[in-house]
Amino acid sequence: MAKVVVLGVPGETGLWLADLDAGTVTALAAPAEGPLAAASNLRASGVTVTKGVDFAVAVSSAASVASGLLDP
* 72 domain residue, yes or no: no
Over residues 1-13, mean pLDDT: 87
Q: The domain containing residue 40 runs over which residues?
A: 4-66
* 49 domain residue, yes or no: yes
What pLDDT is stored for residue 15 in this prediction?
A: 95
Report d(CA 8, CA 48) in Å as an integer: 9
* 51 domain residue, yes or no: yes
State how many domains the chain has.
Answer: 1
Report d(CA 67, CA 51) in Å as an integer: 28
* 41 domain residue, yes or no: yes
* 56 domain residue, yes or no: yes
Map residue 12 onto helix, strand or coil. coil
* 57 domain residue, yes or no: yes
* 71 domain residue, yes or no: no
- Tens digit of each residue's pLDDT (9 = 90 or more) over 9-67: 988 889 999 999 999 999 999 999 999 999 999 999 999 999 989 988 888 788 877 77
For residue 39, give the amino acid letter. Answer: A
